[in-house]
């Protein structure tokens, strides 16, 4: 019984991130080219902001 419970929990732990990623991929697969590029630009801008802050001397 305990082994089954552990197995179920392990399966849920494995499947949840996979399901989330699958849903995200399916959602993104409906994007137009413009939306894909807009998302990529937003990611690049966010990465630039993070790295510029982290390149500074601030703690």
Q: Where does this chain bind other proteins (CB under 8 A)?
A: 3-4, 7-8, 11, 14-15, 18-19, 21-22, 25-26, 28-30, 33, 36-37, 39-41, 43-44, 46-48, 50-57, 59
* Residues whose CB falls within 8 Å of the CB of residue 28, separated by 6 or more in sequence, listed in order: 36, 39
Q: Min. distance of Cβ 52 from other proteins in angstroms? A: 7
User: Cα separation of 59 and 48, whole Å?
Assistant: 18
Q: Min. distance of Cβ 51 from other proteins in angstroms? A: 4
User: Cα separation of 51 and 38, whole Å?
Assistant: 20
């Amino acid at each position: 019984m305990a082994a089954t419970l552990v197995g179920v929990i392990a399966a849920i732990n494995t499947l949840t991130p996979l399901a989330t990623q699958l849903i995200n991929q399916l959602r993104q697969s409906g994007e137009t080219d413009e939306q894909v590029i807009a998302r990529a630009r937003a990611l690049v801008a966010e990465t630039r902001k993070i790295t510029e802050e982290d390149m500074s001397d601030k703690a």
